[in-house]
Amino acid sequence: MFHLLLATCLANDPSICAERLLPSAESPSVEECHRKAEPIARDWLARHPDLRGGAARCVETAGLPALNMQEVADGVFFYQGAMEQISPGNRGRIANLAFVVGDTVAVIDAGGTRAEGEALYAAIRSVTDKPVSHLILTHMHPDHILGAEVFAEAGASIVADARLSDAVARRTDAWMMSIPDQIGQAAFMGSRIAPVDQKVDAPMTISLGSTELRLEPVKSAHTDNDLTVFDSESETLFTGDLIFRGLTPSLDGSLSNWIDWVDGTGPDPAPSLIVPGHGPVAATWDEAVAPERQYLHALRDATRKAVTGGMALSRAIPAIVSMMKPYSEGWADFNATTARNAATSFSQLEWE
């Protein structure tokens, strides 16, 4: 396969440049890729007025920068994001990403930038030439969704919880302002929100021919638009950020529902492998959720103490963080994330 790489620079700062992969020009021969290049590049640039285009070139799959992925089960490929908050050092690549190869390919989460989505696409192409039929977004957070447009351009249908689009729309302007500052303009170049094609409001199944994916929306927990994905052939469960391992869980939904979810016994039948939203894969439900369960219970207990003690929010936050300290071991970014969680859980439990 040959792929089109287009040189681009920021319209408002021509010193910041990067090549973008345009998957719709993908071709079996270099000649065909060259033939498609001009109209596709022109079209693409018209939809990205923040960028100016330069030279285009066609390269073989092996010449593309690709994420380093691991086949964790038959036909299931996994990329483990950096276990930290986004920074220039990690270029926003902190979320776990995956794809499942059946007769077609389904991708689970798209990464935190256009560039990461492209590198995920290149990793898929290094394994298979099968069409990418679906991109499933596990929830709204930018580290999971900002690479999505690459897959829309590759012809995939974007599937997400029915509540995701509104939640994203409310936050897009803030993200577009803040994320380039957090990871660097060059790393963020060309990143945009892609619209959802298929909105999930009840459990549903996606057929990939040789395997099936069961999608299940979950009551507001980590966010108000979480969904899980179960691959029937490999019995792998993808939980998105309903499960954090190693990176401190961040609360952007409902603490009590999230606790109910982790307190449950997990899916029946039990999965053979669990892929969390952050951190390493786990072999059993208990291995996957036990540390997070302890953290969320401790957060609820500490918050209740602050609420019943009649503390104001400004005093409650440091008090909750300090009560949580004994549970900090093994969690990256504990203090900052726990302070934010404390504010959220305080406002929720105050009304309990």
What does the block give as tokens for 259?
């606790």
- Least distance from C-beta 149 to Zn ion, angstroms? 19
Determine which helix (DSSP H) or strand (DSSP E) holds 206, and give its type and residue range: strand 204-207
Contact 273, 243 (CB under 8 A): no
- Least distance from C-beta 339 to Zn ion, angstroms? 17
Report the residue number, 10 or 274, with the smaller CB distance to Zn ion: 274
Number of residues that bind Zn ion (CB under 5 A): 2
Q: What are the angstrom distances between the C-alpha of 30 and each of 58, 59, 131, 147?
A: 6, 8, 19, 26
- Least distance from C-beta 141 to Zn ion, angstroms? 3
Report the residue number, 236 or 250, with the smaller CB distance to Zn ion: 250
Report the residue number, 48 or 141, with the smaller CB distance to Zn ion: 141
In Å, the largest CA–CA distance within the chain is 72
| Residue 241 binds to Zn ion (criterion: CB under 5 A) | yes
HEC secondary structure over 333-344? CHHHHHHHHHHH
Q: Judged by CB under 5 A, which stretch of 60-68, 77-85, 233-241, 328-336 contacts Zn ion?
A: 233-241
Among the listed residues 108, 113, 185, the one whose alpha carbon sits nearest the alpha carbon of residue 146: 113
| Residue 226 binds to Zn ion (criterion: CB under 5 A) | no
Site track for Zn ion across 94-133, x = CB under 5 A: ----------------------------------------
* Selected binder of Zn ion within 36, 91, 134, 141 (CB under 5 A): 141
C-alpha to C-alpha distance for 92 and 95, rounded to whole angstroms: 8
Q: Judged by CB under 5 A, which stretch of 45-53, 67-75, 139-147, 167-175 contacts Zn ion?
A: 139-147
Work out the burial of residue 17: count CB atoms within 10 Å of its CB; fewer than 13 is exposed, 13-18 middle, 19 or more buried: middle
Report the residue number, 75 or 276, with the smaller CB distance to Zn ion: 276
Report the residue number, 81 or 102, with the smaller CB distance to Zn ion: 81
List the interface residues with Zn ion, window 40-59 (CB under 5 A). none
Q: Please, how many CA atoms are within 13 Å of residue 78, restricted to the half-sphere of its CB?
A: 22
Residue numbers at the binding site for Zn ion (CB under 5 A): 141, 241
